[in-house]
Amino acid sequence: MTTDTLLISQTDKVLTLSFNRAEKKNSLTQSMYVSAIDAITQAKDDPDVHVVLIRGEQNLFTAGNDLDSFNNRKPDEKSLGIRLLEVLHEFPKPIVAAVSGVAIGIGATMLLHCDLVYASPNTRFRLPFINLGLVPEGGSSLLLPLRIGHQRAAKVLMLGEFFDTADAINFGFVSEEVVLDQLYSKANETARVLSLLPQEALLTTKRLMKQSLAEEVSSTIEDEAQEFARMLQTPESRRLRSSTLKKDK
């Protein structure tokens, strides 16, 4: 279902989800999560959808989770952000992403569950969980050390610093750098090509690529989610999030 903040459209066999909250750097709200989860879940069994494309409006991907929703979340409440990451991890069809501007927090971790990711040179990436008194999410504490080794993963997850598109390629978040004025046409064309390929062979290839780690990734996502929920309630995390919100206003 299209909303003002999450635009959903379909062209031929490609379903496109576009974050549309530019005044807040496309940060993700609870309603945006619900709409995205519903759309991707329905696409899983829809024979008319062969590929999902994720992008952002106004040359922005997303600055991640809206911090207000962290503060308003009940301790025992299931995180919709984690559910979106689970849905992306479990999605059997190809996922393409077009990234520009910023990809922060879940805006970066969701890319680990996409199959092909294109990013413009100007994009700034960051996993600032530890800077907010929190822990990694989306299986990133497993996937990043496996992809790039412990030391480089520690630089990303422990320091929480910004990194650019060239580093994002080296760190396994991005497939290819594409200049901004060609970014969305490149992602659209890739999605179109994927949608026309022999589907049984394509889906089987993705399953074979992911199956050796599938259960371990799911387990790690759950373990991270439990620690994340616990850390949200700590005085240190509350203080750091409050300070960040004040700076953003």
Mean pLDDT by 10 residues, the chain (249 residues): 88 98 95 97 98 97 87 74 98 98 98 98 97 97 97 96 97 97 98 98 98 98 96 93 72
pLDDT, residue 249, reads 54
Which residues, including other chains, have CB under 8 Å from residue 32's CB and lie 6 or more apart?
3, 5, 6, 19, 21
Residue type for position 153: A
pLDDT, residue 67, reads 79
Tell me the residue length of the chain.
Answer: 249
How many angstroms separate the CA atoms of 195 and 14, rounded? 7
